[in-house]
Amino acid sequence: MKNVSVDHAEQAVFWEKKREKRMPTHPAVEAFAKPKVEAIAKMIGVNSQTHVLDVGCGNGFFTHYWKEKTPHVIGIDFSQEMLMKNQNPLRVRGRAEALPFKDQSFDVVFCSNLLHHVERPVDVVKEMVRVSKRHVVLSEPNARNPFMNLFSRIVKEENGALKFNPGYLQSITNNAGLRELYLGEEGSVVPNKTPGWAVPILSPFNGPMGGGFYIVYVGDRLDMVEY
């Protein structure tokens, strides 16, 4: 595969563009985000006292559904345009490479569809590990899926996703000091492109499956593991 680089200036322009975005309650967004949050929350035991950081929260696709699990959710994004659309009252503007929080500030640090937009994803995950008390959760496009692969090739700002497959994400998390609890391919619904009428048709295939649209990773800090 060709070398894929990420241009920060181009990414900044892309995410600050004013354009219509679906709300978290759109059927396709709900089908994309809610099942992942439900499964993750059950896996790691999220409750009303759990503190969650949503890194690269954008306009709140996942923030909205984490809020259904716990009131203690903070979203952070570098795009002011995206943050203005996020309805979560607790949101911060900042960069994932230098999170403005103290060590071990959150029980769960979550990140969806951000790592393929940054130049050094392992540095971002290390920052997530630093501010996490225990759990780090990641979701990224899966280049093993032919439709996601084609989309990532066509859209210049998404070219970084061409590197992402389960093995590549696993190498990042291993280097960042995480122990893997779950790594899977899943999903048949994309939040911004799947029409609402198609969601009921695709829903039976929206869970874990080989070659799914996304890779989901759940891990915990190696230094917090109890043997």
Residue 161 domain-assigned (yes or no)? yes
Give the pLDDT band (50/70/90) at residue 223. confident
pLDDT at 154 over 80: yes
pLDDT at 16 over 60: no
Residue 157 domain-assigned (yes or no)? yes
- Average pLDDT of the chain is 90
Total domain count, the chain: 1
Residue 64 domain-assigned (yes or no)? yes
Residue 1 domain-assigned (yes or no)? no
Mean per-residue pLDDT, 36-60: 96
Token readout for 110 is 């979550």
DSSP string, 173-222: HHHTTEEEEEEEEE-S--TTTS-GGGHHHHGGG-SB-TT-SEEEEEEEEG
Residue 189 domain-assigned (yes or no)? yes
Instruction: Give me the domain span that covers residue 90.
Output: 8-224
Residue 2 domain-assigned (yes or no)? no
Closest CA to 187 of 85, 113, 86: 113
Instruction: Give the residue ranges of DSSP H helices in 17-145.
Output: 27-44, 63-67, 80-85, 121-131
Residue 27 domain-assigned (yes or no)? yes
pLDDT at 180 over 90: yes
Residue 44 domain-assigned (yes or no)? yes
Mean per-residue pLDDT, 213-218: 97
Higher pLDDT, 79 or 173: 173
Distance, CA of 181 to CA of 168 (rounded, Å) = 16
Q: What is the pTM of this model?
A: 0.89
CB 201 within 8 A of CB 30: no
Exposure string over 158-174, b if 16+ CB within 10 A, otherwise e: bbbbbbbbbebbbebbe
Closest CA to 147 of 99, 88, 199, 190: 190
**CATH code: domain of residue 209:** 3.40.50.150
